[in-house]
Structures are given as structure tokens and as C-alpha cells.
């Protein structure tokens, strides 16, 4: 469980209609920026094409806009969002989810000079976490890697090794970059709410993405941490429980 | 990556305004879930226009959708910045009132057409430019237009008048249509309720947002009854030379309006 002693007031349990706390609301405001910002840039492009009467590529641009709309719809349908305090009863397929997320970031990765890909073993077990929540963790980690490690190589890596802790089998997933790395003194603090290092070149950071990743991962029975060396890059790893083999529930492929 | 990011120096502290922002977000999700859904529902309509090669209409719809998305993002950023910095952060620029009004009209055109209400603009040709966070100011005006359009189902004409006084700019939305007494009473009650109380009640999002945005600009929102049973929404912001001090200000006092 999350230790609420160190949380800002907004995240403390306080109201009748949010039984656990209010983090879901801030998480929504934080995460919903991305599909809206993507939609805005797409609409600007579409508007430019229509104004210039250049209709050749409008269908493709429109499809990107529709994708953003679908992302928005997924987030709305996930409200009120609340990471589960009990383990998920529906297994999630990791591979198609990673492929979809990596695909959705290709445009912004290209714009930042980042080569983005994934490395996954042949047999990836089903996971015990709602796919929409796993997607938001990956979205935030990849988005951070692209923004904070431009002109680098970013990889989503699924470890072939199965870990075990307290009788629970865990899969380890990571988002790795070969950017400038993170100072060792910050390795724990970057998971605190609103913690960020002031940098005028990066005005969009709110210091909420990593704390929310931590919240989601821990509520689903996993852990998250960073391994980083200055000048060499960073690896954000998290673990997720593997879905018990005995269950016959159909997997949840994508949110 | 910038090396300044890698240093533990100059960290931002945690902020006490966060609870108020949570309350605003509750309001947003409770009463303004509509804009999120509206944006999403407009996309298939836009695709249909493109499929039908109705490019003039598609351009208009794209621009409307763009404005709606940008305003929504501005409100989210306003809230997230308040959460992070305990300050209201505006991004002011110099605009002609004519442009502001045209963008407002475009934003509410579908709703006004559906309501059989004509929106017209009355601006003195010599009206000087104003300084404001354009998207937030437009959001404030759109909120008032929506309040008017929803107040009564009567057809009619609403006039958006711009008046430049020596120290203040007024955007006055004159709606002469008679409002049902209970609607008028609700509006008057909401306008007389302090912002912090509106937050606690989690009601009247449009009134809250419009008033909050104007207060952040150092301005005011007032509801004035008209002789016809309708109302005038009077939105005032300081002239540019008085705007500078309020670009970045503590958020907490803005909630203490009485």
C-alpha cells in the first residue's frame, strides 16, 4: 500500500466521493494533456492543408486526429480512475500493448531525434494488471524518455527472467535510454509528487508522471525504480505480477 | 538532455494550493466533462466532411475544434500550474477585441444555431488592443455565452459589446430574452456566492471558471439585470498598462472573493 504520510494535502483521503484519495483526478488532468496536445498539433496541420487546398494527405492526418480522439475516449471511459487495491481479475497481454504504445510515440520520437523500439522475449506471460493502467505507466515513461533524452535511443525492454517475491511471480519491464542520465541524489526524489528540477527548456513538466507510475505499479503489487549513470543513460524498471496459470479468464488485449 | 536537469539544485517545493485545484478539477469533471466528449464527437463529423470533400465546412469545423481543444488545454495547464507553483500563471499577449469576439462567435456558433439565437458583435472601430491570456479570456466569454444560451429556449439576438474605458475593458454580453424566474434566481445566487463556496458546493462550473479567469486577469465578472427580464454579463479586465502585475500572482487570494 502507498504510504500517505508524505503526500501533499490534495492526495490525502478527504472526501466522501473519492474513497481512497484524489490522485485519480490529478492523474487524469496530467495524462489527458497528451492526447489533447497531439490532437491540437494534428488539427493545426489539417487546417494548414485545408487552407492551402492541399487535400492529398488529409485522410492520413485525419486518422491521426481520430487516434487522439480514441485515446481521449479511453481515458474518459476509465473515469473515475482508481488503481485497484485488489489484484486484477483479467489478464493483460503485454506484447500488443507495448507495440501499440511504441507505435503511438513514433511521430514525437522522430521529432525529438529519438529512435524508439522494443525488445521482448518470444514468450511473454499474461500480466495481472488492467491494460489501461499498464498503458498509462508506459505512456508516461516513454514520454519522459523522449522529452528528457532527445537524440538518443529509447527501448522498451521486457526481461526474459521471471522474478519471485513472497510467492508472487513477477515480470520486469523497463524503458531505457542512452541520454545524459540522472544524478544519483535524485534517484528516489524523482518519484515524489511535484518534484522536478527546474529547466526552462522543459516547461511542460509538472512533476507528476513518475509519482503516478509509482502509484499505479505499487497498487498492482509491483515496484518501480531507476538505474542511471551520468553520461550513459537511464533505465526505469518496474515489475508486474504474472497472471496465475490456473485461471482460464480471457486476456484483456488493449484498453 | 540539458545538464542543468541532472543537478539536484533548484527544486520546486510541494504546494499548498493543491486541494483547491482538486476541487476545481472535481468541478471540471462534474460539469465540464462535456468539452472532452464534444471534442471526441466532433472528430467523426470532421472526417465525414472530408470524405464528402466539403472542404469549406471542414476548414470551419477544424478551426472550431482547434479552438475548443486549445481552450481546454489552457484550463488544464492553468490548474496544473496552480498545483505546481501555487500561482496563477497567465500567458498574456496583445490582441484586438475584434479578434477575440470573432473567435468567441465561432466557438459558440453551433450552440447558438441550435438555439435559434443570433449572436452579433458591437465594437467601436477605434477600440484599442487589449492584453490578455487569449484562450482563457475566450473561455471566460464562451462560458457566459453558454450560460445565456441555456438560460431560456426563446429565440432572439444576443449582442457582444466591447467598451474601452480609461482603465478597464468591458465585454458586455446583452441578452434581452426574458429568463424564467427560477433560472434568473439561480444565476443571481451563483454570481453572489464566493468562489470558495462554489467550489465546496461543486456547482456552477461556468460561473466559477469565468469569474476565476477574470479575477486572475485583475478583472471582474458581474451579472446585471436588464429591463426586459434578461441579463447583461459584464466582463471587465484592466487596460494593458495595469495588467503586468497580475501575470503571475498567488492563487489563494483569488478564491477568497466575497
Q: Quick one: three-class SS letters along A127-190?
A: ECCCHHHHHHHHHHHHHHHHHHCCCCEEEEEEEEEEEEECCEEEEEEEEEECCCCCCHHHCCHH
Helix, strand, coil distribution of chain B in percent, nearest 5: 55, 20, 25
Residues of chain B found within 8 Å of residue A30, distances taken between Cβ atoms: 80
- Average pLDDT in the A150-162 region? 94
Report helix angle A23-51 to B33-51, nearest 10.
Answer: 30
Half-sphere exposure of A249 (CA within 13 A, CB side): 15
> In sequence order, what are the residues at sequence separation of 6 or more whose Cβ sits closer than 8 angstroms to the Cβ of residue B71?
B35, B107, B135, B136, B138, B139, B142
Q: Which of B12, B26, B46 sits opposite A207 (nearest CB)?
A: B12
The residue that leads in pLDDT, B45 or A24, is B45
Q: What is the Cα B75 distance to its own chain's centre?
A: 9
Q: State yes or no: pLDDT of A4 exceeds 50.
A: no
> In sequence order, what are the residues at sequence separation of 6 or more whose Cβ sits closer than 8 angstroms to the Cβ of residue B23?
B199, B200, B202
Average pLDDT of the residues of chain A: 82
Q: State yes or no: pLDDT of B93 exceeds 60.
A: yes
Residues of chain B found within 8 Å of residue A199, distances taken between Cβ atoms: 2, 4-5
pLDDT for residue B247:
56
pLDDT band at A202 (very low <50, low <70, confident <90, very high): low
Alpha-carbon gap: A175 to the closest alpha carbon of chain B (Å)? 16
Most distant CA atoms of chain B, gap in Å: 64
- Average pLDDT in the B48-66 region? 90
Half-sphere exposure of B227 (CA within 13 A, CB side): 0
Q: State yes or no: pLDDT of B12 exceeds 60.
A: no
β A115-119/B168-175 pair status: unpaired
- Judge whether A82 is closer than 8 Å to chain B, CB to CB: no
Q: State yes or no: pLDDT of B9 exceeds 60.
A: no
Residue entry with cell 521482448? A120
Q: State yes or no: pLDDT of A87 exceeds 60.
A: no
- Residue in A13, A47, A69 to test binding to B, most B beta-carbons within 10 Å: A69
Q: Which of A58, A72, A180 sits opposite B36 (nearest CB)?
A: A72
Residues of chain A found within 8 Å of residue B46, distances taken between Cβ atoms: 62, 65
Q: State yes or no: pLDDT of A119 exceeds 70.
A: yes
For A151, the closest chain B residue by CA position comes to B1
The answer to whether the CB of A13 falls within 8 A of the CB of A3 is no
Residues of chain B found within 8 Å of residue A36, distances taken between Cβ atoms: 39, 69, 72-73, 76
Alpha-carbon gap: B43 to the closest alpha carbon of chain A (Å)? 6
pLDDT for residue A26:
77
Backbone phi, psi, residue A67, to 5°: -60, -45
- The grid coordinates of residue B94 equal 496583445
pLDDT for residue A139:
93
Three-class SS state of B22 = helix
Q: Which of residues 164-193 of A touch B (CB under 8 A)?
A: 179-183, 185-186, 189, 192-193
| Number of C-beta neighbours around residue A20 at 10 A | 14
For A50, the closest chain B residue by CA position comes to B59
As a whole number of Å, the CA-based R_g of chain B is 19
Alpha-carbon gap: B163 to the closest alpha carbon of chain A (Å)? 32
For A68, the closest chain B residue by CA position comes to B40
Torsion angle, alpha carbons of A184, A196, B22, A133, to 10:
-50
**Lowest mean pLDDT, pick from A19-28, A168-177, B125-134:** A19-28
- The grid coordinates of residue B25 equal 478539477
- Most confident residue range from A183-192, B72-81, B150-159, B212-221: B150-159
pLDDT for residue B16:
53
**Lowest mean pLDDT, pick from A17-31, A34-48, A240-254, B186-200:** A17-31
Average pLDDT of the residues of chain B: 83
- Average pLDDT in the B95-122 region? 92
Cα–Cα distance list, B99 to A3, B104, B149 (Å):
50, 9, 22
Question: First CA to last CA across chain A, in angstroms?
Answer: 25
- The grid coordinates of residue B39 equal 471534442
> In sequence order, what are the residues at sequence separation of 6 or more whose Cβ sits closer than 8 angstroms to the Cβ of residue B176?
B156, B157, B226, B228, B230
- The grid coordinates of residue B229 equal 427580464
Q: Which of B7, B39, B70 sits opposite A72 (nearest CB)?
A: B39
Q: State yes or no: pLDDT of B216 exceeds 60.
A: yes
Q: State yes or no: pLDDT of B188 exceeds 90.
A: yes
Cα–Cα distance list, B212 to A44, A108, A155, A247, B75 (Å):
29, 34, 44, 52, 11
Cα–Cα distance list, A225 to A141, A218, A236, B209 (Å):
12, 11, 6, 39
pLDDT band at A94 (very low <50, low <70, confident <90, very high): very high
pLDDT for residue A21:
60
Q: Which of A11, A39, A73 sits opposite B69 (nearest CB)?
A: A39
pLDDT for residue B173:
97
Q: State yes or no: pLDDT of B86 exceeds 90.
A: no
pLDDT for residue A1:
34
Nearest CA to B58 among A67, A51, A65?
Answer: A51
Q: Which of A9, A59, A199 sits opposite B4 (nearest CB)?
A: A199
Q: State yes or no: pLDDT of B4 exceeds 60.
A: no
Amino acid at each position: 500500500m502507498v504510504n500517505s504520510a508524505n503526500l501533499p494535502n490534495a492526495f490525502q483521503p478527504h472526501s466522501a466521493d473519492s474513497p481512497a484519495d484524489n490522485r485519480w483526478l490529478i492523474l487524469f488532468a496530467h495524462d489527458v494533456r497528451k492526447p489533447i496536445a497531439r490532437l491540437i498539433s494534428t488539427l493545426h496541420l489539417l487546417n494548414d492543408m485545408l487552407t492551402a487546398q492541399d487535400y492529398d494527405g488529409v485522410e492520413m492526418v485525419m486518422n491521426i486526429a481520430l487516434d487522439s480522439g480514441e485515446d481521449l475516449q479511453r481515458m474518459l471511459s476509465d473515469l473515475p480512475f482508481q488503481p485497484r487495491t485488489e489484484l486484477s481479475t483479467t489478464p493483460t497481454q503485454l506484447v500488443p500493448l507495448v507495440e501499440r504504445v511504441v507505435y503511438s510515440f513514433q511521430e514525437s520520437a522522430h521529432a525529438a531525434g529519438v529512435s524508439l523500439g522494443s525488445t521482448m522475449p518470444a514468450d511473454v506471460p499474461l500480466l495481472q494488471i488492467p491494460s489501461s493502467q499498464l498503458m498509462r505507466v508506459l505512456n508516461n515513461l516513454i514520454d519522459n524518455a523522449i522529452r528528457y533524452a532527445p537524440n538518443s535511443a529509447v527501448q522498451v525492454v521486457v526481461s526474459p527472467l521471471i522474478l519471485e517475491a513472497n510467492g508472487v511471480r513477477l515480470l520486469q519491464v523497463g524503458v531505457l535510454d542512452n541520454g545524459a542520465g540522472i544524478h544519483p541524489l535524485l534517484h528516489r526524489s524523482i518519484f515524489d509528487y511535484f518534484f522536478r528540477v527546474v529547466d526552462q527548456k522543459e516547461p511542460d513538466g509538472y512533476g507528476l508522471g513518475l509519482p503516478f507510475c509509482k502509484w499505479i505499479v505499487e497498487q498492482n503489487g509491483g515496484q518501480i525504480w531507476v538505474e542511471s549513470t551520468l553520461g550513459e543513460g537511464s533505465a526505469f524498471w518496474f515489475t508486474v505480477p504474472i497472471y496465475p496459470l490456473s485461471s482460464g479468464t480471457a486476456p484483456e488485449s488493449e484498453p | 538532455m540539458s545538464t542543468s536537469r541532472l543537478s539536484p539544485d533548484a527544486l520546486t517545493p510541494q504546494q499548498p494550493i493543491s486541494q483547491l485545484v482538486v476541487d476545481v478539477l472535481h468541478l471540471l469533471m462534474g460539469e465540464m466533462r462535456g468539452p472532452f466528449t464534444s471534442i471526441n464527437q466532433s472528430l467523426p463529423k470532421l472526417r465525414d466532411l472530408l470524405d464528402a470533400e466539403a472542404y469549406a465546412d471542414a476548414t470551419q469545423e477544424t478551426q472550431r475544434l482547434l479552438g475548443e481543444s486549445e481552450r481546454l488545454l489552457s484550463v488544464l495547464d492553468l490548474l496544473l500550474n496552480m498545483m505546481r507553483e501555487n500561482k496563477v500563471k497567465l500567458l498574456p499577449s496583445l490582441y484586438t477585441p475584434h479578434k477575440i469576439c470573432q473567435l468567441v462567435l465561432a466557438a459558440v456558433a453551433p450552440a447558438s444555431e441550435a438555439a435559434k439565437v443570433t449572436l452579433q458583435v458591437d465594437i467601436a472601430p477605434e477600440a484599442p488592443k487589449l492584453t490578455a491570456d487569449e484562450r482563457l479570456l475566450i473561455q471566460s466569454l464562451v462560458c457566459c455565452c453558454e450560460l445565456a444560451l441555456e438560460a431560456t429556449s426563446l429565440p432572439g439576438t444576443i449582442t457582444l459589446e466591447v467598451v474601452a474605458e480609461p482603465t478597464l475593458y468591458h465585454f458586455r454580453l446583452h441578452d434581452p430574452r426574458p429568463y424564467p424566474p427560477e433560472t434568473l434566481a439561480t444565476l443571481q445566487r451563483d454570481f453572489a456566492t464566493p468562489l470558495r463556496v462554489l467550489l465546496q458546493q461543486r456547482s456552477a462550473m461556468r460561473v466559477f471558471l469565468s469569474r476565476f479567469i477574470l479575477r486572475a486577469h485583475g478583472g471582474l465578472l458581474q451579472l446585471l439585470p436588464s429591463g426586459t427580464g434578461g441579463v447583461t454579463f459584464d466582463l471587465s479586465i484592466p487596460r494593458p498598462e495595469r495588467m503586468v502585475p497580475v501575470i503571475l500572482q498567488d492563487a489563494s487570494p483569488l478564491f477568497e472573493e466575497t
